Structure 1
Amino acid sequence: MQEGISLPEIEKVNEEGNSASFVISPLYPGYGVTVGNSLRRVLYSSLKGAAIYALEVQNASHEFSTLPGVKEDLIQIILNLKQVRLIIHEGEDAVLKLKIKGPKEVTAADISASASVEIVNPKQPIASLSKTGKLDMELKVNRGMGYVPTEIKENREFPIGTISIDAIYSPIKKVNFDVEPIRVGEMTNYDKLMLDITTDGTIKPTEALTKAAAILIDHFNLIKNYQEKAVAKKGKAKAEADKNKKLAANKTDFKSQKIEEAGFSNRTTNALLNNKVKT
């Protein structure tokens, strides 16, 4: 603990569904915004999740296609699929199937998923089918981080007929924080940080907060241990240089070495000396 700066306490003051509120206090003056903004940025950008990143639709080769008997066009269906939140329990990717005939209001519950994939919002609407309508599609999902637009995946090769879509991996829907002054002894300028976190249901708010804090700690530890690692690296380089210098000093100059000191047999040594080879 830094001398003169006491550590605060954290309390979960409210939790309802996928939302929770936390209070962290008392924080040293100015630390409320520092801690709150850091956690908010990491929560939005650096937590892993799973999302649909591509799909193949029968009788549709691009996202501007329309399907007979389906009320929504393919763009609207893709927007609905982006809202499907899921968890991949094993592996990094999976393939899901959606094959259904109308009349029906199609939801995420109609997606056929393997045992390793869990859909957490099965009531999410996908499309409305008339009596003649049908949907037959293959959904490709994987694990990732943050938000990955289609443009970033342009260099990735997809099979013909595969439609790439923006992937929303972040499990965080909303993060807000507020800072209020709080009294500590006679000081009235300490900070109270109030943090509100809403997730998509694939992770609990408390777990999201602890994971974000762990990511920040890992990065700050790199800075904390910088001097120690720099000294160790410098010492290693010096030891290597000393070793090479010693090897160079001990290296024999064979061109100036006498024949008698070269370690040849007596017969070879005499033959060389008789031929006036002395070094």
Structure 2
Amino acid sequence: MIYQMQMPAKIDVDEATHTDRFGRFVAQPLERGYGVTLGNVMRRVLLASLPGTAITGVKIDGVFHEFSTVEGVREDVPEIVMNLKRVRFKSNCKRNCKTSVSITGPGQFTAGDIQAQEGEFEVLNRDMHIATVNSGSTLKIDVYVGRGRGYVPAEDNRPEGMPIGYIAIDSIYTPIRNVKFTVENTRVGQRTDYEKMILDVETDGSLTPDDSISLAGKIITEHVTFFANFSPTEEEFAEEEFKQQDDEFENMRKLFQTKIEDLDLSVRSHNCLRLAEIDT
């Protein structure tokens, strides 16, 4: 336990602004400097370490590379890929999956048309536009969905064994849309140099703000615990103790073997030892 440090009594929630996608959390009082310390680590973990679901790649019928156009579709492949990156999912599934979509024109391809074959995921922004299919044309597309953390670039989304025409996509897994924090002064008794840290968290709806900060806190705790529990083992203590004893014994042995001529003794002390027939 750490003594003589001011700790927050609890985390307060701003109920006036709280929704399923936005939360404002207040931690106070904090020792000076700890507002920025906690705010920074929470922000980094929230943005980079929380798990989520995203599209990892697509295969469009009749398309062999990502800079193509699709016959009968208004948008080209880069536009379609850009729109697919913005599709948000809610999923507890730990495995990757593939689903197929077929849109016959005239019609709109929206995020809601991406449906899990076995209920592995749920699309949150179902109305988001992805592509427009012209009359007499059909858009056939395979969508690959996976689980991950943070942000993964397209070059890391190219597993072996994928079919010809597979296009890897940058995956934005994080369920956090925005995080910011501010630090203000607060009073404890007569002292006004304590801090209050205000943390604003906005999610995509796949995770609530409350669950987000709780999960981030657990991730931080798991890492910091290694430092909190760090100590040499009993064997290391024993080895060090034995080593010290051996060193002390060796020093004493060398001292006892030193000849009296090599010692810085007075003439009287030297003569007394000689008369007693003591040579070392």
**Shorter-normalised TM range:** 0.7 to 0.9
Task: Write out the 4+ residue segments of structure 1 that deviate beyond 4 Å after TM superposition.
Answer: 153-157, 235-238
Structure 1's 237 and 73: CA in aligned 2 closer, same or farther, altered over 3 A?
A: farther
Equivalent residue runs for 1:100-139 within 5 Å: 100-114=103-117, 115-139=119-143
Equivalent residue runs for 1:11-30 within 5 Å: 11-13=12-14, 14-30=17-33
1:180-229 per-residue CA deviation (whole Å, 9 max, x = no partner) reads 011111111111111100111110011000000101101110111111xx
Structure 1's 150 and 86: CA in aligned 2 closer, same or farther, altered over 3 A?
A: same
The unaligned stretches of length 5 or more in structure 2 are 241-280
The unaligned stretches of length 5 or more in structure 1 are 239-279
Structure 1's 84 and 232: CA in aligned 2 closer, same or farther, altered over 3 A?
A: farther
Q: Which residue of 1 aligns with 2:205?
A: 201
1:123 partner SS: coil
Equivalent residue runs for 1:45-60 within 5 Å: 45-60=48-63
Distance in 1 between residues matched to 2:58 and 2:33, nearest whole Å: 48
Structure 1's 192 and 49: CA in aligned 2 closer, same or farther, altered over 3 A?
A: same
Distance in 1 between residues matched to 2:66 and 2:238, nearest whole Å: 57
Task: Give the TM-score, by structure 1 length.
Answer: 0.80
1:7 is aligned to 2:10? no
Distance in 2 between residues matched to 1:92 and 1:234, nearest whole Å: 43
The one-letter code sitting in structure 2 at the alignment partner of 1:56 is K
Moved more, 46-55 or 147-156: 147-156
Q: Percent identity?
A: 38
The one-letter code sitting in structure 1 at the alignment partner of 2:24 is S
2:62 partner SS: coil
C-alpha deviation, 1:132, in angstroms: 2.5
Q: Which residue of 2 aligns with 1:174?
A: 178
Distance in 2 between residues matched to 1:62 and 1:81, nearest whole Å: 16
Q: How many residues align?
A: 236
1:44 is aligned to 2:47? yes
Task: Verify the 8 A CA contact 1:68 1:132 in the aligned structure 2.
Answer: no
Q: Which of 82, 85, 98 is 1:82 aligned to?
A: 85
Distance in 2 between residues matched to 1:140 and 1:236, nearest whole Å: 56
Task: Verify the 8 A CA contact 2:25 2:199 in the aligned structure 1.
Answer: yes
1:226 partner SS: coil
The one-letter code sitting in structure 1 at the alignment partner of 2:99 is L
Distance in 1 between residues matched to 2:25 and 2:149, nearest whole Å: 24
Moved more, 131-140 or 209-218: 131-140
Task: Verify the 8 A CA contact 1:10 1:23 in the aligned structure 2.
Answer: yes
Task: Verify the 8 A CA contact 2:149 2:174 in the aligned structure 1.
Answer: yes
Distance in 2 between residues matched to 1:167 and 1:232, nearest whole Å: 47
The one-letter code sitting in structure 1 at the alignment partner of 2:80 is I
CA RMSD of aligned residues (A): 1.9
Structure 1's 165 and 233: CA in aligned 2 closer, same or farther, altered over 3 A?
A: farther
Structure 1's 65 and 215: CA in aligned 2 closer, same or farther, altered over 3 A?
A: same
Q: Which residue of 2 aligns with 1:276?
A: none
Structure 1's 184 and 152: CA in aligned 2 closer, same or farther, altered over 3 A?
A: same
Moved more, 166-175 or 125-134: 125-134
Distance in 1 between residues matched to 2:239 and 2:141, nearest whole Å: 58
C-alpha deviation, 1:87, in angstroms: 2.6
1:216 is aligned to 2:217? no
C-alpha deviation, 1:137, in angstroms: 0.7
Distance in 2 between residues matched to 1:85 and 1:236, nearest whole Å: 56
The one-letter code sitting in structure 2 at the alignment partner of 1:203 is L
Q: Which of 58, 69, 73 is 2:72 aligned to?
A: 69
1:156-178 per-residue CA deviation (whole Å, 9 max, x = no partner) reads 55322211111111111100000
1:45-82 per-residue CA deviation (whole Å, 9 max, x = no partner) reads 10011111111110101111111221111101111111
